Amino acid sequence: MLSTELSSVYQTFTDAAGVLGNLFAFGLYLSPMSTFNRIIRNRSTEQFSGMPYIYGLMNCLICCWYGMPIVKSGIILVATVNSVGTVFQLVYLSIFISYAERAIKIRMLALLIAVFVIFASIVFVSLSCFDYNGRQFFVGYLSIASLIFMYGSPLIVINLVIKTKSVEFMPFNLSFATFLVSFSFTTYGVFKMDPFLYMPNGIGTLLALVQLILYCHYNNSSKEDTEEEEEPLIAEYP
């Protein structure tokens, strides 16, 4: 009796972590909206990078495949969140490519085609060359790699943040949403005892935390610099 109740509570916490991960992920998918509103308004991608969305699309496709019952049963919440993410990434990439300069446009289109070719190859190999258990390991290791690349891709912008001492091109909402999603799915992976979930998401949690720390540091520095610049004006015009 007690064992059944503990099992029920355990399952409840597991499902809660997965559902929260889905909800936070929806917020993550919406977080670039302000960035793309700016791109559409200015009709330019400026210094924004499209690589996080390429990595995001590749990650969503692979993780969606990993969450399918034919690959790994019992983690359908992984498939649902990544199927929605795939749609969002495609929309964002379409907008980015539309307003990018010609050279960037060509490169991004080539990368987009490469993503679909690689994913189709993964599906083909996993179905034709592996049994059920082997398929889990094959796609699982690929999901680890794709998650780490996705969570690490915003680090490309960190060099720009440190160089310019400005967080203009590293939106806080994106970093914060990434932290919430990665933490939720780390917890979900721990409850499911699935290292292919908790290992990469744990790394993602740490990387997102680094971004948040940098944001707070350089955001505060920017405010201090602004105040210092304003002080002579106050002294000159009492």
Task: Identify the DSSP state of 166.
Answer: -
What does the pLDDT read at residue 166? 74
- In the block, which residue shows the tokens 């790394």? 203
What does the pLDDT read at residue 153? 65
What does the pLDDT read at residue 238? 35
Do the Cβ atoms of 28 and 175 come closer than 8 Å? no
Q: What is the rounded CA–CA span in Å between residue 209 and residue 179? A: 7
Task: Identify the DSSP state of 68.
Answer: S
Q: pLDDT 10s per residue in the chain (238 long)?
A: 556 777 788 888 888 888 999 999 988 888 888 889 999 999 998 888 888 888 889 989 999 999 999 999 989 999 999 999 999 999 999 999 999 999 999 999 999 999 999 999 999 999 999 999 999 999 999 999 888 877 766 666 777 777 777 776 677 877 888 889 999 999 999 999 999 999 999 988 988 888 888 888 887 665 555 444 444 333 332 3
Handedness of CA 102, 106, 107, 112 (dihedral sign): positive
pTM of the shown model: 0.80
Query: For 172, phi and psi rounded to 5 degrees?
Result: -65, -40
Task: Tell me the angle at which helices 51-66 and 102-128 cross, rounded to the nearest 10 degrees.
Answer: 10
CB atoms within 10 A of CB 60: 25
Do the Cβ atoms of 201 and 147 come closer than 8 Å? yes
Q: DSSP letters of 33-53?
A: HHHHHHHHHHTS-TT--SHHH
